[in-house]
Structure 1
Amino acid sequence: MSAEPSAHPVAGAAAPVVTTSRDGGVLTLTLARPEARNSLSEAMMAALTSALAAIAADTAVRAVVLAAEGPVYSAGHDLKEIQAHRGDADRGRAYFEDVLKRCATLMTAIVRLPQPVIAAVEGMATAAGCQLVASCDLAVAGEKARFCTPGVNIGLFCHTPMVALSRNLARKHAMEMLLLGEWVEAEEARRMGLVNRVVPAGDALSTAQALARRIAEKSQVPVKLGKAAFYTQMEMGLDDAYAYASRVMAENMLARDADEGISAVLAKRAPSWEDR
């Protein structure tokens, strides 16, 4: 498949808010609304959710990179859209609940996507934008990237970003971000566990794509089983987690590629994957 970028349009949008490019088994999704700080507007969330649904059904896509245009990775929810509903009869309650439900649908779609997703972060990722990074399986940050959950500073605790942060960071690190609402520099974000790697500014995308290509080279049987199992067992108690993981691993052992991989090790040769 060509690596040329293509638009993933949204009905009624003047220009695509998300673009895609393909290089072999690696698909890159790019937030393309830099003039609005790549905020997670209704259109942006719809475009990303739609793109992820298409990717989930595309077995030729083996890994996904989530990047952004401009100096801001994502500033979180579109505050202008939110404030526009303050005058509703219910003061915006129904709209707020709906938009947050859409956001949760997007974040869980990333977690539940069969393919691994790697965030490539340059610039700032704040509030739900930080949540977007935390929802990805891996994250690479340029050294000038910064992260923040600043809701507490404007009278609005970052409750939904809290869900993703608390599942990635140690409790006290997550609470520090949520309670202080202060900027976290890239290297500190790596230490906290929000990102995996910090690279020179401008190199986040190429590094994330290189990681994605390495994942794409592997059999997709253990990759897809493993990603799903990782998040499932995280919600279980220790005994249930081991019982569940044992069942999934036994299923994995029955796969053709597991037989091939073990045979290749014993024969001291490179394996030949068939993704089954």
Structure 2
Amino acid sequence: MGHENEAAAAEPILLREVRDGVATLTLNRPRARNALSTALMAALQEAVDACAADEAVRVVVIAANGPAFCAGHDLREMRARPERAFYEALFAQCSRLMTSLVRLPKPVIARVHGIATAAGCQLVASCDLAVASTEARFATPGVHIGLFCSTPMVALSRNVGRKQAMEMLLTGEMVDAERARQMGLVNRVVAPERLDEAVAELAATLCAKSPLTLRIGKEAFYRQLEMPLEEAYAYAGRVMTENMLARDAAEGIDAFLEKRRPVWQGR
């Protein structure tokens, strides 16, 4: 994975646009195949944190410029600093970023137009939803270079079945977009020319929902996954009770019974 030349280096490594409640965060290291350098991860972390605090943002889309979506960690940067402390800090930074996407109180959609490998595959798996072009490809290929994709494994194994995750991790082989959909890594696969339209449609659908309800539901979804069955039901029951007492739930139910559109207040 190469570094940008001087002209490209003048470009921001992350682009941010907010339109109609949708914040699009675009990885912008095309010559480096959007490798997750420490600088790019820091920029993405800052943008994700800003989206969490911005009431105008209802949905976040992670996109990328250039031929690849994200080719994983920046191997040149990693080899330039062969130090335990650097590696520990690097993987902690990446883990915090991926966890932030899961904890973000708003839905996150990955817009995947090209390859998503290693930590790039982890990035897709860490998003709540993913829409992929038929040209997208996915892999955890660390095994080819003697570096097992252990941190990407955490997100991957929480999205696909064990046998499928192990096959990707042990072989490092590329998986096409349709196979990734069948495995549960992505939600929808569309022709390249329809990718923006499909992402926009999904984002608009989410923006039409109560932001409070989506926040409650997203948090509950991930928390209950880690619980035993009885504990999960007890927790979900408490969540639904609190949700039922919210203004938006009363409005939504009344609107349904009265056959009208609900007016969400986010409380």
Q: Please give the range of the TM-score, normalised by the shorter of the 2 chains.
A: over 0.9
**Cross-structure match for 1:120:** 111
* 1:38 aligned counterpart, secondary structure: coil
**Cross-structure match for 2:242:** 251
Correspondences of 1:252-271 after superposition (within 5 Å): 252-271=243-262
**Cross-structure match for 2:26:** 30
**How many residue pairs align between the two structures?**
259
Correspondences of 1:19-168 after superposition (within 5 Å): 19-86=15-82, 92-168=83-159
Structure with higher helix content: 2
1:117 deviation in Å? 0.3
Question: Structure 1 counterpart of 2:97, which letter?
Answer: L
**Cross-structure match for 1:8:** none
1:217 deviation in Å? 1.1
**Cross-structure match for 1:237:** 228
Residues 74 and 202 from structure 1, CA distance in 2 versus in 1: closer, same or farther, beyond 3 angstroms?
farther
Structure 2 distance, partners of 1:201, 1:264, is 38
Answer yes or no: is the 8 Å Cα contact 1:123–1:142 preserved in 2. yes
* 1:156 aligned counterpart, secondary structure: coil
* 2:69 aligned counterpart, secondary structure: strand
What are the Cα deviations for residues 130-149 of structure 1, in whole angstroms up to 9, with x where unaligned?
00000000000000100010
Structure 1 distance, partners of 2:57, 2:15, is 16
Correspondences of 1:160-199 after superposition (within 5 Å): 160-199=151-190
Structure 2: unaligned runs, 5 residues or longer: 1-8
* TM-score normalised by length of structure 2: 0.95
Question: Structure 2 counterpart of 1:47, which letter?
Answer: A
1:98 deviation in Å? 0.7
1:224 deviation in Å? 0.4
Which stretch of the first structure deviates more once superposed, 246-255 or 262-271? 262-271
* 2:63 aligned counterpart, secondary structure: strand
Structure 1: unaligned runs, 5 residues or longer: 1-12, 87-91
Residues 202 and 83 from structure 1, CA distance in 2 versus in 1: closer, same or farther, beyond 3 angstroms?
farther
Structure 1 distance, partners of 2:166, 2:100, is 25
**Cross-structure match for 2:3:** none
